[in-house]
Chains A and B, each alone.
Chain A
Amino acid sequence: MAGLAGCTGGDQGDGSGGGGSGGDGSGTLEIVHWWTAGGEKQALNALLDGFKEKHSDVQVNNNPAPGGAGSALDAVVKNRVLNQNPPSTFQIWPGDALKPYTDSDVLQNIGDNVWTEEMRNAYLPGPKNAAKPAGQFVAVPINIHRLNNLFYNTAVLEQAGVDPSSIRNPQGLVDALDTIAQETDAVPMAHSTQDSWPTLQLWETVFIGEQGPDAYVKLTEEGTDPAQFRDGIRSALRRIDQYRQHFNQDAGSISWDQANGKIVDGQAAMIHQGDWAAGQYVSAENFNYEGEWNMVPFPGTQDTYSIVMDSFVFPKNNPSPDATRKFLSYCGTVDAQRRFNPVKGSIPPRKDVPTDPFGPFLTSQMEDFQSANAQPPTIAHGSAVPPEVKSSMEETFAAFNGNWNVDRTTQGIVDALRQ
């Protein structure tokens, strides 16, 4: 009966969202996500269009919970999961960010009916591991952003006479920033400290650049005593304290995308950001890849591809098990990832997605990914540590953003990771 009611709606169900009444039949897929900004929204719509083409019997209730990086979604989804009224599926970072969910056993094991042999063979190891944080497959990663990028405005760097690809390590970047400061009027390094995460992600990238990805992965693993890495932690903080002399003055009053805008208008030379920042360059006029802007891996992390992913999961007590299974299976296909990722500005976690819909920048990122020696997860974006640890790290860096006290922050990081 309920199934019938769901089927009669046909393949409609645009992005009107809103209601959130829960699935009202096995044929309605309620999807909760935070992709409401420009490109993200279009990427999700492209994905849903593809899904509706394949499964016209499933109605889609697109129910966004706007708020950057899930700040609002977290509260909505956790409440609904606790009330045993979860949506059909929701967006979440894979990896350790799933720990509260797997600890409480509220996610369905999808190792059999979604993660088929074919899918397991096609996925790259980094995303595949993140999909099974507690041993069983519970999530389907759909995209990969790279975190360890150094974006730059080519004109400014030419004026300063700095060749970014020749900077070999985080220490070398300090010298390059000094040169830019001397030779140009531009801010050498754009940054935002209004939120804590841009500095946190900069720290983890510098740590990888100085200590290598293996040390970083060890540091974030459960059961490691972080104190043995104390010197490395401190050294990376000290490096950031050196970079800080070259930040834009208003770093504390602007958001990351405002900082990124300084690259576009030539006020700043470089910025460290995930490759979601490139969306802003692409949409800017007369600002082209390899012409006006370019990117190198953050100095010292040339062979590393720090991955930031999004995934969808299958909550238990599911209102529409059948539709959810279909959707998750679809997310794992070449078709879904080819539609979604070029628009989102990310690369697919499957190896066999053709590169032609991706622009030159993403194609180059895909090549880097294939040849990367390490694909470490991230603290700032939830996949490397449980939310509890991430929150303590953010508190530590919120303080560091104000007092720049290297010793106290070192201790804060050690304490946070020990939890």
Chain B
Amino acid sequence: MRRSIRRLFGGGSGNSDDARPDGGTVTTGRKSALALDGEFVQSLPFWVPPALLVGLFVYGAIGWNVLISLTDWSGLGQPDYGSLDLSMYARLVSDQSFIAAFRNTLVLLVAFTLASLLVGLAVAILIDRGIRFENGFRTVYLLPMSLSFVVTAIFWSWMYNPQVGVINEFLRAVGLGALAQQWISDPRFKLWAVIFALMWQFSGYCMVVYLAGLRAIPTEQYEAAKVDGASTVRMYRRVIIPQLRASTTSAAVVLMVFALKAFDFLFVLFGDTPGPAADILSVMMFREAFSTTNWAYGSAIATVLFALALGVIAPYLFVQYRRGEL
């Protein structure tokens, strides 16, 4: 769009007069400004409605949410936009529940992203080694991604069951019964159990992204590394993985944005009150807004979440912009 605007203004000053893409025949030097207006006007129906819709429903809603967070709206009356202040944000800072939820959200964000990337990379490399039934394995690893969180949350609550769950049964079977734990009720493990389950679900996605990255690397580089006598580990570490930076960045951004939105999984397992050990901002936001009708406070939490998402995605967009890929 930026390019077309530039062309528009460039054209307006009368120094670019090449063929019109619409094949119009009336373009003469004198009439060019008018003709460009015509083109501009003709393009309006194509981009104005979506721009307005996105503007209203995405950016308008975000703006409204921020506005609500500045009021002190609660209950089922209408908000009072007359007195706006930051009291909700002040309340956040001193709220132990918020601090716990914020900390858990950050832990989830970092640990889940790192773990999924590492597992995804490992699986992608293994699959890229030209194993048999490659397509089959790829499907197997990607399948969890296609399941609803409601389904996987129930699965995992069964698997984590301390008495009859697969995980503890397995630990006992291999003689590690001492490691069997109350995975989703002991506050020490609760959040990690959730992170592990989410990693299981998302590492398949990372695998696909990495696999695409690996496939883009020419075979000559593998061969050259071999010829130069590099071991397999060394080859991956020095030659292949450094070339996967773009895959890592895009997968990491998707994972981190997801981690901020992870709601379904926790809600299915623990309802709207997971307790301080596993509470995260999105669940807390829901609880404040819909269980206790503290709309302004819920909006303030939503704004914090939005700022975090922006913090994740803005550097990525900026780098893309600098590279001219945007």
Interface residues of chain A, those whose CB is within 8 Å of chain B, are 71, 74-75, 78, 81-82, 100-101, 103-106, 193-196, 248-254, 387-388, 391, 394-395, 398-399, 401-403
**Which residues in B have their C-beta under 8 angstroms from that of A251?**
185
The answer to whether A196 touches B273, judged by C-beta atoms less than 8 angstroms apart, is yes
B11 located at the interface, meaning its Cβ lies under 8 Å from any Cβ of chain A in the complex: no
Cβ-neighbour of B182 out of A81, A103, A252, A403 (below 8 A): A252
Q: In the complex, are the beta carbons of A252 and B162 less than 8 A apart?
A: yes
Given A250-B163, A398-B274, A398-B276, 10 new contacts (CB under 8 A)? A71-B271, A71-B272, A100-B75, A103-B77, A195-B271, A250-B165, A387-B293, A399-B187, A399-B275, A401-B275
Bound complex: CA of A75 vs CA of B286, how far in Å?
9
Q: How far is the CB of B272 from chain A (nearest CB, A)?
A: 7
- Interface of chain B residues 223 through 277 with chain A (CB within 8 A): 269-277
**A250 contacts which of B164, B269, B270, B291 (Cβ < 8 Å)?**
B164
The yes or no answer to B160 lying at the interface (CB within 8 A) is yes
Contact A100 B163 (CB under 8 A): no
B293 lies within 8 A of A78 (CB): yes
Q: With A252-B184, A253-B162, A253-B165 in contact, is A106–B273 under 8 Å at CB?
A: no
In angstroms, Cα B182 to Cα A196, docked, is 16
Interface membership of B40, Cβ < 8 A: no
Question: Per-position contact with A for B159-203: 1 when CB-CB < 8 Å, else 0?
Answer: 011111100000000000000001111110010000000000000
Identity of the chain A residue whose Cβ is nearest the Cβ of B193 in the assembled complex? A253
B294 touches A253 (CB 8 A): no
Residues of B within 8 A of A252 (CB): 162, 182, 184-186
Determine if A391 and B270 form an interchain contact, defined as CB atoms under 8 angstroms apart.
Answer: no
Give the docked Cα–Cα distance between A252 and B277 (Å).
13
Give CA–CA (A340, B300) in the complex, Å: 43
Known: A104-B76, A194-B270, A251-B185. A387 touches B292 (CB 8 A): yes
> Residues of B with Cβ closer than 8 Å to A?
75-78, 97, 157-158, 160-165, 182-187, 190, 269-277, 279, 286-287, 290-294
Instruction: Decide: A402 and B185 in contact? CB cutoff 8 A.
Output: yes
B270: which of A101, A195, A248 is its contact (CB, 8 Å)? A195
Alpha-carbon distance A254/B158, docked complex (angstroms): 8
When distances are taken between beta carbons in the complex, the residues of chain B under 8 Å from A103 are: 75-77
Residue of B at shortest CB range from A82? B76
Contact of A395 among B75, B97, B157, B184 (CB under 8 A): B97
B7 CB to closest chain A CB, in angstroms?
44
A254's nearest neighbour on chain B, judged by CB, is B161
> Which of B76, B162, B187, B279 meets A78, CB within 8 Å?
B76
Identify the closest chain B residue to A68 (Cβ).
B271
In contact, A253 and B184 (Cβ under 8 angstroms): yes
Q: Which residues of B contact A82 (CB under 8 A)?
A: 76, 78
Provide the residues of chain B in CB contact with A105, threshold 8 Å.
77
Q: A248 to B286: give the CA distance in the assembly, Å.
A: 31
Let me know if A402 and B277 touch, CB within 8 A: yes
How far is it, in angstroms, between the C-alpha of A289 and the C-alpha of B77 when the chains are bound? 48
Find the B residue at minimum CB distance from A75: B290
Query: Please, which residues of chain B bring their CB within 8 A of the CB of A387?
Result: 291-293
What residue of chain A has the Cβ atom nearest to residue B78's Cβ? A82
**5 interchain pairs (CB within 8 A)?**
A71-B271, A103-B76, A250-B165, A395-B273, A402-B277
A120 CA to B139 CA, complexed, in Å:
65
Q: Which residues of chain A come closer than 8 Å to B292, judged between CB atoms?
A: 387-388, 391
Q: Which residue of A lies closest to B159 (CB)?
A: A253
Interface contact B77-A104, CB-CB below 8 Å: yes
CB nearest neighbor in A for B158: A253
**Which residues of A sit under 8 angstroms from B162, Cβ to Cβ?**
249-250, 252-253
Q: For residue B276, which residues in chain A have a CB less than 8 angstroms away from its CB? A: 395, 398-399
| Cβ distance A398 to chain B, nearest Cβ, rounded Å | 3
A398, B184: Cβ atoms closer than 8 Å: no
A256 to chain B, nearest CB (A): 11
Pick the contact of B163 from A104, A249, A391 — CB < 8 Å?
A249
Q: CA A402 – CA B77 in complex, angstroms? A: 37
The 9 closest A-B pairs by CB, nearest first: A252-B185, A398-B275, A402-B187, A104-B76, A75-B290, A104-B77, A253-B161, A394-B273, A250-B163
Question: Which interface residue of A106, A254, A395 has the most chain B CB atoms within 10 A?
Answer: A395
| CB-defined contacts of B165 to chain A, threshold 8 Å | 250, 253
How far is A193 from B184 in the complex, measured between Cα atoms in Å?
A: 10
Judging by beta carbons under 8 Å apart, are B291 and A74 in contact? yes
Bound complex: CA A106 to CA B269 (Å): 33
Separation of A391 and B163 alpha carbons in the complex (Å):
30
Task: Give every chain A residue within 8 A of B163 (Cβ-Cβ).
Answer: 248-250
Task: Name the residue of chain B whose CB is nearest to the CB of A250.
Answer: B163
**Interface contact A78-B77, CB-CB below 8 Å:** no
Cα(A195)–Cα(B185), bound, Å: 10
Question: Which A residue sits closest to B165, measured CB to CB?
Answer: A253
The smallest beta-carbon distance between B291 and chain A, in angstroms, is 5
Select A196's contact among B269, B275, B294, beta carbons within 8 Å: B275
Q: How far is the CA of A250 from the CA of B164 in the complex (A)?
A: 8
**Docked pose: A403 CA to B189 CA in angstroms:** 12
Q: Please state if B290 and A401 are interface contacts (CB–CB under 8 Å).
A: no
Given contacts A78-B290, A252-B184, A403-B187, contact A398 B161 (CB under 8 A): no
